[in-house]
Amino acid sequence: MKPSFLDTSILLRHILGEPNAYQKLKQFDKIYASELTRVEALRTIDRLRIQNRWPQEEVALRIRLLTAFSASVEIIPLQPAILRRASDPFPTTVGTLDALHIATALLIQIQLNKSLLFLTHDTRQGLAAVASGMDAEGFN
């Protein structure tokens, strides 16, 4: 199966045990993600810790799940080429973080000289990835 790019929304549904998590991850030989994914996930865990008054054990569990999940993914560091592409226009409206994820996936495609499957639960981001020339799943 073609390599894939993982958006934070896919990761969070898994580590938070939310319903309707994307179920095909084990089918991919190679999964890429931006280093931004870990930052977004940790910010979400911390926000939930405060809002839901999670005990330390709950926070530790979610961070352990994040660490284990991250070990199976190739993390792509933010780099000048990604920041430049994220600053350029997109065919649809995207926010800053979505632009960084899509720009990272586009850069990987160029480096690999093959298409990636963009995985996201975010409809707007999925549509932006498709409009940028990628196949995408998880947002329908």
pLDDT digits (tens, 9 = 90+) for 17-28: 999 999 999 899
Bridge-based pairing of strands 31-34 and 135-137 is unpaired
The span from the CA of 15 to the CA of 63, in Å, is 8
Q: Does pLDDT of 91 surpass 90? A: yes
The span from the CA of 140 to the CA of 133, in Å, is 17
% the chain with pLDDT above 70: 100
Q: Does pLDDT of 140 surpass 80? A: no
User: With the CA atoms of 113, 117, 122 and 126 taken in that order, what torsion angle do they form, in degrees rounded to the nearest 10?
Assistant: 60
Sheet holding 117-119, edge to edge: 74-76, 31-34, 4-6, 117-119, 135-137
pLDDT tens digits, one per residue of 54-80: 999 999 999 999 999 989 999 999 999
Q: Does pLDDT of 1 surpass 90? A: no
Average pLDDT over residues 44-57: 96
Take residue 10 and report the two structure tokens written for it.
């896919």
Residues comprising the chain, all counted: 140
SS3 64: helix
pLDDT at position 93: 95
